[in-house]
């Protein structure tokens, strides 16, 4: 059997269903017949299936009403031609198929079973070509019966996305198929990375079906998989002329004595990621405990908003992190307002965010909106907010829907780059760019890891990296550090893994 070109990764761009349809249209306009594209897609599916079974295996192909079903009919024909025992079932009457899918169904010379009678008990592999990434309604009727009849112990190859996953969002129907492997075409979709969709996909491979990458220049996608290709050209580099003052000065604001660990974790992260100088600024009551724990990181005392303002007035300070362990309340809110008055890039994390979501009923002005107004007052200021889901919901209680779109709207509304944390962290910029992270292992869910992430962002901003790229790089590095360390990780381990990760990047 001839091999199609398919790989585990093809480009960092993630295409919505509308953008993928435009890619198809542009390819056809450039001279690639749509039937040829479908033939190539079906051949890629058959090649992927061959990788999952032994010669002559029994394969059931489930087809749906659209082009996804057309891909399934192509794969079934090719697999049968090469000696596999192939059965086909369709969720609709084949006579109702239209366009290219109808033509490919005609080229299938075998029987087509109806959804209600198909039996998969003897199948070695099931190819799910029922619904593609464009699903926009709950699954019901014959399609539901067909998908529900798939045995839980069978290997499944999903075409484009597992049926039930919404390609644009990663949201999933209750009847969603759990795939062993998913094969998609040209570029991945947001739903391949965003949860819960990612959890249904299994291994994801991307097939080259003859669409030129040049179409991306026309489509201009705004959503990406977070990977070094997205931000590497902006990553800080060193030369023989570099010294600590050219590598930026990051300031981390400490909280009271009983909560100082978070600030030190952030400071350690900023130093490890390359900031030339890092200073923890500490309330007087926490000075002794911070001094006992810091070595390469400098320490300065301050008292209240005026004291912080005096420190940040130093123009050599290039980034400030405020929030980890600062405490929730008006005092932290005032410190944030001070930090936003200066030109240094600013990372707002944890308590710095929550402090603007409390006591709103007693405040004559909406507190959250006041924060966003402060961020937007200086369009040249680089601000990154790093909320987890709980903090995000308090900041943006009216936003619903997919994680990507919520983060994107939040970035536009706030004027800041938003890092919406989680297993599928989304980084969104006010210019509508968004990236979905995919390298975070589950053991990254440990106390203090978010403080280190905020420090990574701060350290990269201190070195002059643009805020969207800095946030994307920090999130990716954070995941790589955790993966490299493995199970048993605690937050203190993350900065210490960074040199090995950076060495792999050859920066």
- All structural domains of the chain: 5-220 (3.40.50.10260), 228-505 (3.40.1190.20)
114: exposed, middle or buried (Cβ count in 10 Å: 0-12, 13-18, 19+): middle
In terms of residues, how long is the chain?
A: 507
* Residues 391, 332: Cα–Cα separation, whole Å: 15
What are the beta bridge partners of residue 157? 127, 181
Using alpha carbons, list the distances in angstroms from residue 201 to 62, 133, 156, 178, 342: 17, 12, 10, 7, 46
- 3-state DSSP call for residue 157? strand
What are the beta bridge partners of residue 126? 60, 156
Relative to beta strand 383-385, strand 155-159 is: unpaired
- Cβ of 239: how many Cβ atoms within 10 Å? 6
In contact, 252 and 458? CB cutoff 8 Å: yes
Sequence-separated (6 or more) residues with CB below 8 Å from residue 453: 269, 386, 419, 421, 474, 475, 478
* Residues 234, 232: Cα–Cα separation, whole Å: 5
3-state secondary structure 290-310: HHCCCCCCEEEEECHHHHHHH
In a structure prediction context, what are the per-residue pLDDT tens digits for the chain, which is 507 residues long?
443 443 334 579 999 999 999 999 999 999 999 999 999 999 999 999 999 999 999 999 999 999 999 999 999 999 999 999 999 999 999 999 999 999 999 999 999 998 767 778 789 999 999 999 999 889 999 899 889 889 889 999 999 999 999 999 999 999 999 999 999 999 999 999 999 999 999 999 999 999 999 999 999 999 999 999 999 999 998 887 878 888 899 999 999 999 999 999 999 999 999 999 999 999 999 999 999 999 999 999 999 999 999 999 999 999 999 999 999 999 999 999 999 999 999 999 999 999 999 865 555 456 999 999 999 987 677 999 999 999 999 999 999 999 999 999 999 999 999 999 999 999 999 999 999 999 999 999 999 999 999 999 999 999 999 999 999 999 999 999 999 999 999 999 999 999 999 999 875
What is the DSSP annotation of 334-391?
HHHHHHTTSSSEEEE-THHHHTTSSSGGG-SS-HHHHHHHHHHHSTT--EEE---HHH
326: exposed, middle or buried (Cβ count in 10 Å: 0-12, 13-18, 19+): buried
Relative to beta strand 249-253, strand 223-225 is: unpaired
- Cβ of 502: how many Cβ atoms within 10 Å? 17
Relative to beta strand 383-385, strand 417-420 is: parallel
What confidence tens digit (pLDDT) does each residue in 14-66 have?
Answer: 999 999 999 999 999 999 999 999 999 999 999 999 999 999 999 999 999 99
- 3-state DSSP call for residue 429? coil
In contact, 432 and 222? CB cutoff 8 Å: yes
* Residues 207, 177: Cα–Cα separation, whole Å: 21
244: exposed, middle or buried (Cβ count in 10 Å: 0-12, 13-18, 19+): exposed
- Cβ of 18: how many Cβ atoms within 10 Å? 11
* Residues 359, 73: Cα–Cα separation, whole Å: 60
Name the helix (H) or strand (E) containing 63. strand 58-63
CA neighbours closer than 13 Å in the CB half-sphere of residue 61: 30
pLDDT of residue 2: 41
Q: What angle do CA 474, 480, 485 make, to 5 degrees?
A: 130
- For the beta sheet containing 203-208, the strands, ordered from the edge strand earlier in sequence to the opposite edge, are 5-7, 203-208, 181-185, 155-159, 125-129, 58-63, 85-90, 112-114
Using alpha carbons, list the distances in angstroms from residue 179 to 144, 151, 165, 192: 16, 12, 11, 12
Q: What is the pTM of this model?
A: 0.94
* Residues 493, 488: Cα–Cα separation, whole Å: 10
Relative to beta strand 13-14, strand 203-208 is: unpaired
Q: Which of these, 397, 412, 407, 396, lies nearest to 436 by C-alpha position?
A: 407
* Residues 309, 303: Cα–Cα separation, whole Å: 10
Q: What angle do CA 38, 75, 189 make, to 5 degrees?
A: 55
Work out whether the CA dihedral 42, 44, 47, 52 comes out positive or negative. negative
In contact, 454 and 419? CB cutoff 8 Å: no
* Residues 299, 254: Cα–Cα separation, whole Å: 10
- Phi, psi dihedral angles at 345 (to 5 degrees): -60, 150
- Alpha-carbon Rg for the chain, nearest whole angstrom, is 26
Q: How far is CA 262 from the centre of its chain?
A: 25
pLDDT of residue 363: 53
pLDDT of residue 362: 52
* Residues 465, 73: Cα–Cα separation, whole Å: 49
């Amino acid at each position: 059997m001839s091999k199609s070109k398919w790989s585990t990764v093809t480009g960092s761009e993630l295409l919505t269903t509308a953008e993928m349809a435009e890619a198809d249209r542009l390819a056809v306009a450039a001279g690639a017949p749509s039937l040829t594209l479908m033939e190539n897609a079906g051949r890629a599916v058959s090649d992927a299936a061959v990788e999952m079974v032994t010669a002559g295996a029994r394969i059931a192909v489930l087809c749906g009403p659209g082009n996804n079903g057309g891909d399934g009919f192509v794969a079934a024909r090719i697999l049968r031609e090469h000696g596999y025992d192939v059965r086909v079932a369709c969720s609709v009457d084949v006579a109702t198929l239209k366009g290219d899918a109808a033509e490919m169904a005609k080229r299938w010379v075998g029987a087509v079973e109806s959804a209600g009678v198909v039996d998969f008990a003897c199948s070695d592999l099931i190819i799910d070509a029922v619904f593609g990434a464009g699903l926009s309604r709950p699954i019901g009727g014959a399609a539901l019966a067909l998908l529900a009849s798939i045995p839980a112990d069978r290997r499944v190859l999903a075409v484009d996305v597992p049926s039930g996953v919404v390609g644009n969002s990663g949201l999933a129907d209750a009847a969603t198929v759990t795939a062993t492997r998913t094969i998609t075409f040209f570029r991945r979709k947001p739903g391949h990375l965003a949860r819960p969709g990612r959890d249904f996909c299994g291994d994801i491979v991307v097939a080259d079906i003859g669409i030129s990458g040049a179409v991306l220049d026309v489509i201009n996608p705004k959503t990406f998989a977070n990977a070094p290709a997205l931000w590497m050209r902006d990553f800080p580099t060193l030369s023989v002329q570099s010294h600590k003052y050219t590598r930026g000065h990051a300031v981390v604001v400490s909280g009271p004595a009983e909560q100082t660990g978070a600030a030190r974790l952030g400071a350690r992260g900023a130093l490890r990621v390359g900031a030339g100088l890092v200073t923890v600024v500490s309330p007087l009551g926490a000075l002794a405990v911070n001094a006992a724990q810091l070595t390469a990181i400098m320490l300065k005392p301050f008292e209240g908003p005026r004291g912080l303002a005096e420190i940040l007035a130093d123009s050599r300070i290039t980034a400030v992190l405020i929030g980890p362990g600062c405490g929730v309340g008006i005092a932290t809110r005032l410190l944030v307002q001070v930090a936003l008055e200066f030109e240094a890039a600013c990372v707002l994390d944890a308590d710095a965010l929550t402090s603007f979501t409390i006591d709103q009923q007693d405040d004559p002005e909406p507190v959250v909106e006041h924060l966003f107004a402060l961020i937007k007052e200086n369009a040249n200021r680089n601000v990154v907010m790093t909320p987890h889901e709980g903090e995000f919901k308090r900041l943006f209680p009216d936003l619903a829907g997919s994680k990507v779109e919520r983060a994107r709207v939040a970035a536009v509304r706030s004027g800041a780059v938003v890092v919406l944390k989680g297993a599928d962290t989304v980084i969104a910029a006010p210019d509508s760019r968004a990236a979905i992270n995919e390298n975070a292992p589950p053991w990254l869910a440990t106390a203090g890891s978010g403080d280190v992430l905020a420090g990574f962002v701060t350290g990269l901003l201190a070195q002059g990296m643009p805020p969207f790229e800095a946030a994307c790089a920090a999130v990716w590095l954070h995941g790589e550090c955790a993966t490299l360390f493995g199970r048993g990780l605690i937050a203190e381990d993350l900065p210490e893994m960074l040199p090995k990760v950076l060495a792999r990047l050859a920066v």
